[in-house]
Amino acid sequence: MKKLSICIPTFNRSKHVLEQLDFLREEIIGFEDSVQIIVSDNCSNQSEVVKVKSYHNNNKFFQLFFQEVNLGLIGNTVFLLNNSISEFIWFVGDDDKLDSGILSLLFEIFNNYDDISYIFFNHDCFKNDISNVVDTFNLSEFSGYHKTFGDNMLKILDYYGAINMFMTSNIYKRDVLLDGYRKFNRKPQIDDFLLFSFICSSESATFIVDDVYVHDNYAESTWSNNARKIFSSSVPQRIIDIEKLQLDKNNVKKTLFSFYYKGRGNFLYMMLNSPVKLTYKIFKFLGLSYCLRLFLRSFFINILRLTKSIKK
């Protein structure tokens, strides 16, 4: 049977992580020999650390690490990646909600498909209360097993934006992720989860679960205050990186153009707030024609927003 590492990065949210562990303690029944659970506390306040330590003293079904300095979300995630020992790895957000039976379904997929290197669970998004759903996605077009999936990943990115950045929906084959990520040879960045999904889906077979088993808590995103910068400057860099994974450059270029054109990233914001080196990189990749169209569209949309704001 395949083995799975469930890795939970956490920071100052002991209530959430303990609730997640309570769920997983029941969910792993029958799979104890096939599942490793690791929690890495990212240098939380002492009061939070005490609560997690106390829980761990009475519950030895998971491993627990405490960081001496805050590594950032992706840095903490990479730490978990390096300390996992299983064939597959699943990063689970401490405040996200999972439906019972998700682990059984996951091992069913493992057992039925030997060549899988990436699994993506569809999800919905809620704010604070799981009944307050604010966004859903229809992935029926992509549901099931795919021998190759790189072009379809570009379609998902085009249709729905960077939904693969939601870490709890992604399960990766560990050696494929490690080998692919090392080739980029740079410091971890918040949007790397998008890159992770392309690294593993472009390598081998992929399975998409269209039914919703995972629920994303929008309200407590650790990076929400920087969302404009992330989606206008950082995510476009990851989209450019994707071209290195033997995907067709023209398709990647069209996807990046569409990302800005549909307003998922603000092209004018990128131009005004990004380092010249990054702006040049995006201009060079897209070409003058695409960039001119995006500049004009972004300029007029921002003028329209400003006018409406003044009228109010």
Q: What is the pLDDT of residues 173-225, one digit of tens each?
A: 999 999 999 998 888 888 899 999 999 998 789 999 999 999 998 876 666 67
Instruction: Give the per-residue pLDDT at 1.
Output: 75
Rounded to whole angstroms, how far apart are CA atoms 82 and 88?
12
Task: Answer with the one of 205, 222, 239 that is the final residue of a domain.
Answer: 222
Residues 142 and 16 in one domain: yes
Q: Is 16 exposed, middle or buried (0-12, 13-18, 19+ CB in 10 A)?
A: middle
Report the domain count for the chain: 2
95 and 138 assigned to the same domain? yes
| 104-120 pLDDT per residue, tens | 999 999 999 999 999 99
Number of H helices, E strands in the chain: 13, 10
Q: Are residues 175 and 241 in the same domain?
A: no
pTM, full prediction: 0.94
Residues 256 and 121 in one domain: no
Would you call 119 helix, strand, or coil by DSSP?
strand
Domain identity same for 178 and 261? no
- Which CATH number is 43's domain given? 3.90.550.10
Q: Are residues 38 and 134 in the same domain?
A: yes
Locus of tokens 């890795």: 7
How far is Cα 118 from Cα 208, in angstroms, rounded to an integer? Answer: 9
The predicted structure's pLDDT at residue 223: 63
Shared domain check, 65 and 162:
yes
133 DSSP β-pair partners: 126
Distances (CA, A) of 181 to 5, 204, 240, 309: 18, 15, 15, 43
**Tokens coding 225:** 């205050």
User: Can you say whether the dihedral through the CA atoms of 79, 80, 86, 91 is positive or negative?
Assistant: negative
Contact 122, 208 (CB under 8 A): yes
User: Can you give the pLDDT at residue 306?
Assistant: 73
Domain match, 170 and 237 both: no
Report, as ranges of residue numbers, the positions in the chain whose pLDDT lies below 50.
none
Domain that holds residue 250: 229-311
Residue 257: C-alpha distances to residues 3, 149, 169, 236, 291 (Å)? 39, 21, 25, 9, 8
- Residue 278: its pLDDT value, please? 94
Q: At which of 196, 222, 248 does a domain end?
A: 222
pLDDT score for 220: 64
Of 222, 249, 278, which one is at a domain's C-terminal end? 222
Whether 38 and 145 share a structural domain: yes
Token pair 């399960």: residue: 171
State the pLDDT at residue 186.
80
| Residues 238 and 95 both lie in one domain | no
Q: Are residues 175 and 61 in the same domain?
A: yes
* pLDDT recorded at residue 150: 86
Q: Tell me what pLDDT residue 189 has.
A: 86
Cα-based angle 243, 246, 250 (whole degrees, multiple of 5): 50
214 and 235 share one domain = no
